[in-house]
Structure 1
């Protein structure tokens, strides 16, 4: 069974990439507010990971998945303009 398996691992480089991409969403996008909240949450986890503190992957994975969705939706919105 593939249940419980994930396509990505929670790494500092992945968190930094998502944080950077979320920052680039234009403020007039309908996704900007959501991106800002996700960015803040991911930044907190990135700081913990960078300091060597333990990170509960079960809590951060949904945030990562949400970040990918927001980025995808913001890109689609931008294409429609």
Structure 2
């Protein structure tokens, strides 16, 4: 039976591995590590059939997107780097 939490759980399953792939050099990696542990606990609780609160899941999901967005800003854009090389900057 599909509950109202199912889409949130599916999204958490997709987001969790993305936090793992953050560069250890990123200032966001340490925060992501703690958040990832929280997401894994949620997934474990879901598998165990324990009750979960939608508001808590929403908060974790929002925080995950914030960290992923901020860490993505640290990734250099190769097109800008090549353009600078061409211009001799």
Whether TM exceeds 0.5 here: the answer is yes
Which of the numbers 39, 47, 50 marks the counterpart of 1:50?
A: 47
TM-superposition CA deviations, 1:26-65 (whole Å, max 9, x none): 1110100110011000110011112222111111211110
Matched, 1:10 2:22: no
Give the secondary-structure state (helix, strand or coil) at the position aligned to 2:17: helix
Q: How many residues align?
A: 72
TM-score scaled by structure 2? Answer: 0.73
Query: What stretches of structure 2 of length at least 5 have no aligned partner?
Result: 1-6, 79-89
Choose 1 or 2 for highest CA Rg. Answer: 2
Question: Hey, what's the Cα distance between the residues in 1 that align with 2:11 and 2:47?
Answer: 12
Query: What stretches of structure 1 of length at least 5 have no aligned partner?
Result: 1-8
Question: Hey, what's the Cα distance between the residues in 1 that align with 2:12 and 2:49?
Answer: 14
TM-score scaled by structure 1? Answer: 0.79
